[in-house]
Amino acid sequence: MSGIASRRGIGSTGRRDLRWAAMSEPFVLRSELGTRWVLHAPLDPYGDGYVLMLSTELYGYGMAAATVVELDGIFVNPQAVRLPDFLTGLAVDWRGWEGVRYWASGQRQLVLEATHDGASHVSLGVTLRAADTDPTVAPWSATVVFVIEATRELARLARRLTDFLDAEQ
């Protein structure tokens, strides 16, 4: 595939068919309904691996939102769950789980919430909040929910996001 994560759909799930963009471009999770989550290559503003800055965007249903997310670098907190590890954990548990699983960036500008329907799909809510504000009083937030097929698409999402973030660092 020459660096392209899949220009065609990754499954035959109809409306829930998700697509990923080439890794040299921003990472894009998109539904056939037109909703998109865009991640741009992370930057290490200090060149030391402690803090990574990542521009991200959400689009859907007439809404557009963008923010800058601060991710802990590889040296900050070895016990913290990295974004790719969170998605990999969901993929490992593709048969299902109870309740909601959460992941949040250090300043909560990016929050993921995942629920399993008990059958074959995961609902992944992606929330962006205003940057550089207290998350409890952020002046705005935006959420888009992606429905992902749990057996193959979820594992592929986790692999592609891991590859994207690891390749760009």
- Percent of the chain clearing pLDDT 70 (strictly above): 79
Q: Is the CATH code 1.10.10 the one for domain 14-168?
A: no
39-98 pLDDT, tens digit each: 999 888 888 777 788 999 999 999 999 999 988 765 556 667 788 899 999 999 999 999
pTM of the model: 0.81
DSSP state of 128: E
Which 8-state DSSP code applies to residue 24?
Answer: T
Enumerate the domain spans of the chain: 14-168
Counting runs of H as helices and runs of E as strands, what totals does the chain give?
2, 8
53 DSSP β-pair partners: 43, 70
Helix/strand/coil for 83: helix
Position 16 scores a pLDDT of: 39
Distance CA 11, CA 132 (A): 38
